[in-house]
Amino acid sequence: MASISTRRLHKELSEIRTEGCPCGITLLNADNYETWFFSIEVLGESLYQGEVFKLMFRFDASYPISSPAVQFVVDQNSQAPVHPHVYSNGHICASILGTEWSPVLSVSAVCVTLQSMLASCKVKERPVDNDRYVRTAPDNPKKTRFQYDDDTV
């Protein structure tokens, strides 16, 4: 029997393939049940008009009980959005990716939440502790314990 996480991801993927992604989100690559890539942009008026970002989801065997590791891809072709909750290495500080993750959420739901996080941004700036965090950050953002102290952004 396929594992619980594989079965769940298989269903999410078929739904994405039949129903399509939410507006502004495109599936780039989902060749396996470990790592998926999406492109994400904010439609309509926002500080990120015309910018397209790349999101990476990494799943372990306990998905969807535990959250996926989600971050923006930073390489020659793409950058992390400049946002008070996004570090320059692509790591994201969002409670639904940590303590408020619930198995009711899905890959699509995370994409939509991140899209609205960008859309509601008022000032394009990095988190205050960006340099310190990026210097010592683990490869997997799930190993970081973020403090969610600001609900307003």
Partner 1 sequence: MFKAAGFAEFIYADLLELVAGLATSDRLWGDFTDEHKSASIVMYMRLLTSAHIRANCESLAGFIHDPESSGSELTVGQFCEMYVEPMGKEADNVQIYALVRALGVDIRIADITEHNTKGEVPFIDPGQEERSSPEADGDDGTLVLLFRPGHYDIIQKTLFE
Q: Which is nearer to partner 1, 66 or 78 (CB)?
A: 66
Residue 93 bears catalytic tag: yes
CB of 67 to partner 1, least distance (A): 9
Strand partners, 70: 57
> Half-sphere exposure of 101 toward its Cβ, with a 13 Å CA cutoff?
19
Which among 96, 49, 40 is positioned nearest to 72, based on CA atoms? 40
Report the candidate in 56, 52, 65 with the shortest Cα–Cα distance to residue 5: 65
Smallest distance, Å, CB 28 to partner 1? 21
- At position 47, the amino acid (one-letter code) is L
Task: Tell me the closest approach of the beta carbon of residue 11 to partner 1, in angstroms.
Answer: 4
CB of 130 vs partner 1, minimal distance in Å: 28
Buried b (16+ CB within 10 A) or exposed e, 31-48: eebeebebbbbbeeeebb
Residue 6 or 46 having the CB closest to partner 1? 6
Residue closer to partner 1, measured from CB, 11 or 132: 11
71 sits in the region (left: phi over 0; alpha: psi -120 to 50; else beta) called beta
Using CB under 8 A, list all residues that contact partner 1.
3-5, 7-8, 11-12, 15, 61-62, 64-66, 99-104, 106
Q: Exactly one of 21, 93, 111, 121 is catalytic; name it.
A: 93
Q: Which is nearer to partner 1, 100 or 125 (CB)?
A: 100
Residues carrying an active site annotation:
93
